[in-house]
Amino acid sequence: MASNSKTLRSPLQIARGLGSAKHGTEHWWHQRVTAIALVPLTVWFVFGVIRHLGADHAAFVAWLESPFSALMMVLTAVVTFHHAQAGLQVVIEDYVHNEMAKILSILAVKALCFVLGAACVIAVLKISFGV
């Protein structure tokens, strides 16, 4: 009897609860927020590197040891890899049609971006704390 009552449900009722209708919008907003955050971070990074062109290693390390520079570098790395992961995920979801390949590719991209981001953060913290 319960199976007969399911057949009386409309397609909309059946589809409700099967996925997040707002997931795409949330993902789109994450992309835009990280893109906007990358503008000042990238400008800061480029000017910082240009300012140290021709400087020796010790001068660059001294610049990166300052708390502000270390914080900005960590933010730049985290936001960059989060933005890259989100963008690559969209590309994979749009152009990879094999479901297993899609899932494995997304997991690989997430893992790679996490590992690279963590390596950047650890490197900056090691330099910043003089380890």
pLDDT tens-digit series, residues 71-95: 999 999 999 999 999 999 999 999 9
- The one-letter amino acid code at 109 reads V
Q: Give just the sign of the alpha carbon dihedral 15, 19, 24, 29.
A: positive
Over the stretch 92-118, which tens digit does the pLDDT of each residue have?
A: 999 999 999 999 999 999 999 999 999
82-108: string of b/e by CB count within 10 Å (b at 16+)?
bbbbbebbeebeeeeeeeeebeebbee
Residue in this structure with the two tokens 């953060």, named with its chain if needed? 121
- The residue extents of the domains of the chain are 24-129
Which CATH architecture does the domain made up of 24-129 adopt?
Up-down Bundle (1.20)
Per-residue model confidence (pLDDT) at position 131:
74
